[in-house]
Amino acid sequence: MASNVFHIGGDLTVRRLGFGAMRLPTEPGPAREASLAVARRAVELGVTLIDTAHLYGGGANEELLAEALYPYADGLLITTKVGVARSGPSSEWRLDGRPDVLRLQVEHALRRLRVDRLELLQLHRIDPEVPLTDQLGALRELQSEGKIGRIGLSEVTVAELDEARQIIDVVSVQNRYSLVDREHEPVLAACEAADIAFLPWRPVAGAASGATAEIAAVAAELGAAPAQVSLAWLLDHSPVILPIPGTARIDHLEENVAAERLRLTPAHRERLDRLPQHP
């Protein structure tokens, strides 16, 4: 049976089933109060990995998490991402991996999250218009300054991961991946070979609604929800997978966290492994 914990970079221990904060509303009012309650409940349930990003509200999501959870519980990792900014003539969101932009977003994240060091910082996307050595070099400098503990990537190919590993020590990769969307299986295999954490986003795509009949059938046989089956499959599929399902509802959060205890039989795994893929 696979372990329920993973050591990111070999020394940062987290429970493998995390929480993605992207869906939490941040505007003032009842929705924000509900978001604060969800974040706090996640930690009460033992979640130790929470994912956010500068892109999520231009830092508003980071501020929300700090309001909900600061001072942070021992062992809680809030990881954030940089590299997408409002820039250009119309100030639309776009990839921006210029070193000064990355540095500024890291400084803002430190302030918003109320920490002196980001234990795990991920590059949200590689900017094709900026040399990779410049982008990762900027993060490596911030790491040497003590403002970043470890560096990860998001939405990369195997070739990009290999290139990045020539420049920095990559400890995590965050790519789109789920039971019914395994386009990045080669990237997962590369991460597994190097003991790099693989954080799938949209981890229950195609399952939360029970749209996939076979997932729904397995769920019914196990007395579980389709999303729980999808998360259990991910946890079972590779020891480096750290799913980060997101929700703005406490009941969905509790259901997701309970998936950690769901056990699939070999027959169930075989049926799920054969599912058609829908990227």
Query: Does residue 255 register a pLDDT over 70?
Result: yes
69-70-72 Cα angle (round to 5): 80
* CA nearest neighbour of 225 among 275, 261, 276: 261
Indicate if 56 belongs to the active site: yes
Task: Write down the pLDDT at residue 90.
Answer: 66
Q: Work out whether strand 170-174 and strand 197-198 pair parallel, antiparallel, or are unpaired.
A: parallel
pLDDT of residue 88: 63
For 60, phi then psi, to 5°, come to -65, -35
Residue ranges of domains in the chain: 5-205+241-248
C-beta atoms surrounding 86 within 10 Å: 12
pLDDT score of 209? 52
pLDDT digits (tens, 9 = 90+) for 129-174: 999 999 999 999 999 999 999 999 999 999 999 999 999 999 999 9
- In tens, the pLDDT along 176-227 reads 999 999 999 999 999 999 999 999 999 997 655 555 788 999 999 999 999 9
DSSP secondary structure letter of residue 123? E
For the stretch 72-114, pLDDT in tens is 999 999 999 999 998 766 678 899 999 999 999 999 999 999 9
Residue at 58: amino acid letter: G
Which member of 56, 70, 72, 177 is catalytic? 56
What local confidence, expressed as pLDDT, does residue 20 receive? 97
Specify the CATH number for 5-205+241-248; select among 3.90.1150.10, 3.30.1060.10, 3.20.20.100, 3.40.50.300. 3.20.20.100
**pTM score:** 0.95
- Using CA atoms, how far apart are residues 84 and 122, in angstroms rounded to an integer? 11
For residues 240-259, give the mean pLDDT.
Answer: 97
- pLDDT computed for residue 234 by the predictor: 97
- Beta-bridge mates of residue 20: 51, 246
Q: What is the reported pLDDT for 205?
A: 76
Q: Residue 275: pLDDT above 90?
A: no
33-79 residue pLDDT tens: 999 999 999 999 999 999 999 999 999 999 999 999 999 999 999 99
Return the pLDDT at 1. 56
